[in-house]
Amino acid sequence: MQLPDYAALFSALFAMTTPTHAAPPRHWTVIVGGATADTSIYANAFFPQAIDIGVGDTVTWTFEGFHNVAFLGGGAAPPFAVPEGDKMYWNPLIFFPAEPGRYSYICGIHSGMRGTVIVKDKAKGTPAAALKRGRAEQAATLAAGRARFANLHVERHGTAFVVPLVGNSRQRYSVLRFTREPLVVPRGATVTWAMRDTFEIHTVTFTNGEKPAQFVVPEPQSSGPPKLLLNPKAIVPTTTTQYDGTGYVNSGMLFPPGNPGKLPSSFRLTLTTPGRFEYWCLIHADVGQRGIIVVR
């Protein structure tokens, strides 16, 4: 999912009183996210994760993916979505920039993605060295994700298959693919897509050959930024438990395992008809999260 133009860059200025004898303010950079060239691996982290700066210095967050920067001021993280009548909208406190309050911050879109700015009288190191360290951390994260994807396997127990949707909170990556190759199953097999990623949300959506539905639909307003409707076609699950290769089947949003709201973290479907069937994650369709199941 691409960032709109108006959200392409966030920056925060730590405008504290600088002693007259202090060195001139310096400008630091934190990289937000990142991805492999084929977009199969996303880095869900701030690079460097912690940065030391001096009083009066400036930090700019450079975005390389779909993220935000939110300073909570010691409060709780805002909810992902907010209801309005019979519709659900992306919480504007998450999507649009908020003013910082403290120096611990999060990405409100990806749970567990955190960073720290440590303000001192005088910074240790240089902005160039910090940026180099950030790039090294990012490279290590993406390399770990590529290694995990290279060893990604579907679990099989007789005619039951489990497709793991994986990521790693310690190494700070998410794999935005279902399987490495088309999944071949016998007719009558049951496939379960299981969330094992603490960062992302996904859908499992069979569109019957139609173009994947947009996950977020902007609704213009007379003033201010647009409202961001979470497309009901993407977030509302269908009731289908068996799939014959026709019609629209959707899991709705699948959330990280063990989430506080006990929201769905898996989806199960029995495949009853031979054929080759395409499905998508509607949230990450634009970066190529597409799967193929071959039923024999």
CATH number of the domain enclosing 272? 2.60.40.420
Q: Which of 93, 119, 148 is the last residue of a domain?
A: 148
138/17 same-domain check: yes
Q: How confident is the model at residue 75 (pLDDT cuts 50, 70, 90)?
A: low
User: Does residue 20 carry a pLDDT above 50?
Assistant: no
Per-residue pLDDT, averaged over 45-72, amounts to: 90
Residues with Cβ within 8 Å of residue 291, at least 6 apart in sequence: 163, 177, 178, 179, 182, 183, 204, 278, 279, 280
- Centre a 10 Å sphere on the Cβ of residue 13 and count the other Cβ atoms it contains: 12
- How many Å apart are CA 61 and CA 129, to the nearest integer? 16
pLDDT of residue 8: 34
Q: Which of 100, 128, 148 is the last residue of a domain?
A: 148
User: Does residue 269 carry a pLDDT above 70?
Assistant: yes
User: Does residue 102 carry a pLDDT above 50?
Assistant: no
b/e 28-66 (16+ beta carbons within 10 angstroms → b): bbbbbbbbbeeebbbbbbbbbeebbbbbbbbbebbbebb
Strand 114-120 relative to strand 249-250: parallel, antiparallel, unpaired? unpaired
pLDDT of residue 100: 34
Does a cis peptide bond (omega within 30 degrees of 0) precede residue 83? no
219/118 same-domain check: no
Does 153 or 13 have the greater pLDDT score? Answer: 153
Q: Which two structure tokens, joined as six digits, stand for 129?
A: 């060295």
Domain housing 132: 5-148
- Lowest mean pLDDT of 24-33, 69-78, 138-147, name the range: 69-78
Q: Which of 89, 120, 148 is the last residue of a domain?
A: 148
Under a CB-based contact definition with an 8 Å cutoff, are residues 62 and 48 in contact? no
Most confident of 79-93, 98-112, 176-190: 176-190
- Predicted model pTM: 0.81
Mean pLDDT for all residues in the chain: 87
Q: Hunting for tokens 């303000």 — which residue is that?
A: 119
28/99 same-domain check: yes
63/198 same-domain check: no
Does 109 or 204 have the greater pLDDT score? Answer: 204
